[in-house]
Amino acid sequence: MTWDPELEELKRREAFADRLGGAERVARQRAGGRLTIRERITRLVDADSFHEIGKIAGRATYDEKNELVDLTPSNFVFGRARIDGRPVIVGGDDFTVRGGSADATIKDKHNQCEQMAHELRMPLVRMVEGSGGGGSVKTIETTGRANVPGVSGWDVVVRNMGTIPRVALGLGSVAGLGAAHLAAAHYSVMVKGLSALFVAGPPVVERIGQKLTPQELGGWEIQLRAGAVDDAVDTEDDAFARARRFLSYLPSSIDDVPPRAASTDPVDRRDAGLAKAVPRDPRKVYRMRDIVEAVVDRGSFFEIAPLYGRSMITGLARLDGWPVALMASDPMSYGGTWTADTCQKVERFVDTAQTFHLPIVHLVDCPGFLIGLEAERTGTIKQGVRAMSAIWQTTVPWCSVIIRNVFGVAGAAHRNGGRYCFRYAWPSARWGSLPLEGGIEAAYRAEIDAAPDPKDRLAEIEERLNKLRSPFRSAEAFWIEEMIDPLETRPLLCEFANLVAPLRRPGASSHAMRP
């Protein structure tokens, strides 16, 4: 006796699952310019590495003889795979089956996907489309009752944010619980023109008097500027490539350290352009991204959240092959001042670095917190305190390079002031409690007004104070440890990365990251 009949039944059920939502719905998915979930997984992971779990789970139909007639598969596909040889967990919504909504959801699959990633300490990539297993008004009719809202398994999502890299790709319209899964990631991506993200979609929003298209309500430009999503790309294949690259900088979990990559970029490379990167006129801006590219391993900078909190550039990079978390002020946005959203961006980025044992490199040009009515309305000081506290909580190594401005309370947050920090300053560096510009007239008002020529007296005071605030005066008092030639920046940063590499310690952070 053999088990051939059962094996044939297994193949039959797997064939039902391979149909997804049926030929018509699959054709509709492709006509909309979107791949199916199985096509997405195939393009994301290493060839032939995907091992699906729960493939034949779904809603079955039987005849009067209790024989299987049809099987509608679950609208969530997940399993084990490899990305660049590394074991990962991959899960994604199948929009062809009831639009990814609750009517076709087997919640245990969602939960086990998260649990596997957590307990096996493997990175998780979630491809989200639809409501991600969330609600549908039709659920009331199909179940005969209204559910009390609850999110089964969200506790594991929260734990995963402090344990494993979690990447989320929004590959269509995403709402409700799906939107929550897309936002709860260390790195998230949308596809321009195809993806949209909202708490509730256009039909629901129209009931409150706002008639908007999906892109008008939650397109990529809106969500990137709001900080809900990190990045947007042109195609789904681009999204898969970004996910793979992001993971290459990180360990599989907090129980490991980030892997070093081979580097052919000489550590003693000195980019001559750095010597004139910063204008002598402090009122003129410059391109900080050019400085970043000049000091890290060639082509290694991977920027994250470029449209959010734009006065701070954040991303991952390599120095002599070692992964680091890099922050750099952008004087082309608010002059580099910290806005409320910049503070939130810094807090989140620093927490990611702390969670995954990434040393932090900070290229500094911060005139302070944003001032004025906008700053007060957005609670800048409160968000600034949170960002500063996150910085002071870090235990990973820091290296700060002061490029130009360091002023005020925000300027003090250029490093963890409670621990040893590598710190260098370029000759263009300027610092103090507040910039002289504007402050002189307030502090010396009586003297200036009493002078025969107030303009000349103001110029005299400026010249005197500028000599006193020279960075070399601070170096005399050892208030700044080292003044350096800008051309020495890359060699020193590479030395930093090599010196601190043995200090990286796997394990849980002193504080867990939240979604």
Model pLDDT for residues 191-227, shown as the tens digit of each residue: 999 999 999 889 999 899 999 999 999 999 999 999 9
Distance of CA 90 to the CA centre of its chain: 19
Alpha-helical regions (H) of 153-232? 154-161, 176-183, 202-206, 214-218, 220-226
Strand ranges for 211-294 from DSSP E:
231-233
Domains along the chain with CATH numbers: 4-248 (3.90.226.10), 272-429+480-502 (3.90.226.10), 436-470 (no CATH)
Confidence (pLDDT) at 143: 66
Structure tokens at 241: 């490539």
The C-alpha atoms of residue 398 and residue 363 are separated, in whole angstroms, by 11
Confidence (pLDDT) at 499: 98
The C-alpha atoms of residue 317 and residue 299 are separated, in whole angstroms, by 9
Confidence (pLDDT) at 81: 98
Scored b (16 or more CB within 10 A) or e, 146-163 reads eeeeeeebbebbbbbbbb
Q: Taking the chain, what is the end-to-end CA distance rounded to the nearest angstrom?
A: 54
The C-alpha atoms of residue 413 and residue 390 are separated, in whole angstroms, by 10
Confidence (pLDDT) at 130: 85
Burial class (CB in 10 A: 0-12, 13-18, 19+), 417: exposed
Give 329's contacts (C-beta < 8 A, 6+ positions apart).
288, 311, 312, 313, 336, 363, 364, 365, 366, 403, 405
Confidence (pLDDT) at 139: 63
Confidence (pLDDT) at 94: 94
Give 383's contacts (C-beta < 8 A, 6+ positions apart).
340, 341, 343, 344, 347
Instruction: Enter the DSSP assignment of 275.
Output: G
* Positive or negative: CA dihedral 33, 172, 161, 297: positive
Instruction: Enter the DSSP assignment of 359.
Output: -
Confidence (pLDDT) at 256: 97
Structure tokens at 105: 């959801």
Confidence (pLDDT) at 140: 65
Confidence (pLDDT) at 142: 64
Instruction: Enter the DSSP assignment of 127.
Output: E
pLDDT less than 70: residues of the chain: 99-105, 132-150, 433-442, 465-468
The C-alpha atoms of residue 52 and residue 79 are separated, in whole angstroms, by 4
CA angle 389, 395, 397 (to 5 degrees): 115
What global pTM score does this model have? 0.92
Confidence (pLDDT) at 111: 93
The C-alpha atoms of residue 354 and residue 514 are separated, in whole angstroms, by 12
Length of the chain: 515
Confidence (pLDDT) at 445: 79
Q: Which amino acid is at 438?
A: G
pLDDT tens-digit map of 227-257: 999 999 999 999 999 999 999 999 999 999 9
